[in-house]
Each structure stands twice: as C-alpha cells, then as structure tokens.
Structure 1
C-alpha cells in the first residue's frame, strides 16, 4: 500500500508476490502473526509518511509537561 501511495506499485509487483508467498508460509504455522505483521507494517508506513499515532502524541504531551 505504501508503494501505491508513493507511485511505485508497478515496479514492485514481482517482488511483492515473492514477499507475500514467504509470509503465507509463516502464517500457516501461526495464524496470529497476521495481526503482529499488520501492526508492525502500519507503524513502518506511519513512520515513512510522518504520521504520529495517538499513542505517541500522548507520550509527547506527557514529556512536555
């Protein structure tokens, strides 16, 4: 999704397929990994895009007081 947002989705399709295949193997062994992986992926996207989470905003407010 980040590649689509950045306009580079067409260049990464072959790599994305291999990446997803590797994750599918891991997810077959542990179904709960999808939630961990999705959460970490979202944190990475937010970092790249400069988006601050509510959690980090609250932490910043506490340290500024």
Structure 2
C-alpha cells in the first residue's frame, strides 16, 4: 500500500499510464543514476525471502513428522 502511495506522490497520472514499468520510472526519477541498482535490491529481497521459506518449511515438516 505504501509503495502505491509513494508512486502517486512522485509520479503524475500521465507518467504512470505511459510507463511500461512504474517501478523503473519511479526509480529513475527518485534515485537518478543509481536506478539500475533496483533490480539488484529486488533480487536480494527475493533470495532473502526464499531463505526464510526454506528454513520455515523444513521445520514444519520436521514438527509434523514427530
């Protein structure tokens, strides 16, 4: 929800409608030359989420097998 609020605070309605990827347009406007780092941050977030899921799911199967 807060991401959408940030998008609308920074971008106009026309920019959002014309954009193929709103997150990329937002990053270019806010982060400037550091915008290409956004996919790297998204990848790190996905890897961290996968790590948590792996630890949690293995413990659930272990507890269920008891």
Report the TM-score, using the length of structure 2 for normalisation: 0.34
Larger Rg: 2
More helix, by proportion: 2
